Structures are given as C-alpha cells and as structure tokens.
Amino acid sequence: MASIIESGWLYLVTHFSDFQLACLGSFFLHESVFFLSGLPFIYLERAGWLSKYKIQPKNNTPAAQEKCITRLVLYHLCVNLPVMIFSYPVFRFMGMQSSLPLPSWKTVLTQIIFYFILEDFVFYWGHRVLHTKWLYKHVHSVHHEYATPFGLTSEYAHPAEILFLGFATILGPALTGPHLMTLWLWMVVRVLETVEAHCGYHFPWSFSNFLPIYGGADFHDYHHRLLYTKSGNYASTFVYMDWIFGTDKGYRKLKALKSGHMEDSGKEM
C-alpha cells in the first residue's frame, strides 16, 4: 500500500510544480471532496429519503439550495483560490514540502490531531466574536440564512467570515510547515467533518454516537435554529470548549428534556 502511494506521489511531483500542487491541486481536491460529500444531502432532502434521521422536519426550497451552490462557486473562485495562491509563500517559508520521502503515518496522525485541537480552540473564540451584535448583523448573519442547514451550507458565509474563520483552519499547518500530503489529508478530513456537522441528519452511524467529545450534526444543528444571542454550541468539532465555558447549557437542557420524554413514553407503553 505504501509503495502504491509513493508511486502515485512520485508521478505528481515529477509532472507538476510545487506551486501547481499546493495551490491548484489543493483547490481541485477541496472542491471535489466538498461538493461530492455535500451534494448528496440536497438529494436526500428533496427526495425525502432517510427522513426519520432528519433533525428538523423543515426542508429548504430548491431555489434556496441553488442560491447556496451559486454563491459557493463564486466565493470559492474569488476568495478561497486567491487565499491558497497568496498563502503559498508563507507555507513554503514555514517548511512545507512536497518531495519524497513521504512523512510517516505517526507524524501525519500527530500533526492532524494537533490541527484539530488548535482549530477547534481558535474557531470557538472567533465564532463567539462573530455572534456579537454588530458582527452578526453585518457578517455572520449570511451563514445563518439557513436555519435548517444542509451539507453545502458549511462553507456558505460572508467573504470576511471565510477569511476570519478560515484562519483557524490554516493556522496549524502554517505553524508546523507540514508535508503537502499531510496538508491535503487535513483538508479532506476537515471538509468532511464540517459537511457532516451541517448535513441536517443524525444517523445511527454518526461519529458523535461513538465519540462523546465529538459534536456532529445534532450539536451544530441546534446552533443554527436558535437566535444568535441564545444559540451557543460555538465550537467546530468537539464539545468540550462549550462545556467548559457554559455555552452549551441550552442544548444540554433540550437533550435532557427529550431524553426524559422518551423515557416517559417508554413507561406508558
């Protein structure tokens, strides 16, 4: 397996420059993973499939979904791609490389865990700042246009917010100067995580059912359907930041009420 990966990587580094791989390659990888993982939730919602796992009964209109897709393509081309291009010298300066040998899986795993922890911490505080009155009204309210989120709404935001909270995602790699393969893996898992958090469905196989510190769709969906001053659940991936600072109290009360109602229903039966 390792030899296949190295052979594939050798092909990339001998046919494309570092700049092409780090900028254009990263952009195409991001777009592919993002849309391929997010689009199925639009079709699930329209078709009504797996509706028993849908967190909110309300559906978005096709027009609202299409508006989201159109804006996303525009933002990705006009914001994300230029950021990838202009941040390339910074990553190179910090030691990012694409040449062989590839890093060990231990190194890759350690760095990605660090990125998740750091991103979650920075995102939490940045997100709370965006929920102050002025910033919410002029910036963050764009993301909250969708009170019933679906996968693609994860990156639907004001350009200023894309830059502001995007900083949390690239801070870890910028500090450590990882191998490009590590950066790509981080991008893939981070995109999959945020799409899942916004998907609007809580499945029996959802990761949050097996890892208590992971928030997931149910945790973040609560954040979207409440008023900005009362929403809470500000963290991107994990639940401990909201628990430590008491910004998940409303969510926990709701969960307790639902749990109590289910127990009462079970006793009646």
Task: List pLDDT tens digits, range 228-243.
Answer: 777 899 999 999 999 9
**Token match 């990888």: residue?**
29
Long-range contacts (CB closer than 8 Å, 24 or more residues apart) made by 77-85: 78/159, 79/159, 79/162, 79/163, 80/27, 80/30, 80/162, 80/166, 81/23, 81/27, 83/163, 83/166, 84/22, 84/23, 84/26, 84/27, 85/23
* DSSP code at position 142: G
pLDDT at 261: 57
Residue 226: pLDDT band with limits 50, 70, 90:
confident
pLDDT band at 18 (very low <50, low <70, confident <90, very high): very high
What's the CA gap between 178 and 115, in Å, rounded? 11
pLDDT above 60 (res 177): yes
pTM beyond 0.85: the answer is: yes
Q: Can you tell me the distance from the alpha carbon of 165 to that of 62, in angstroms, rounded to the nearest whole number?
A: 28
Nearest to 212 by CA among 237, 195, 236: 237
Q: Are 22 and 97 in contact (CB under 8 A)?
A: no
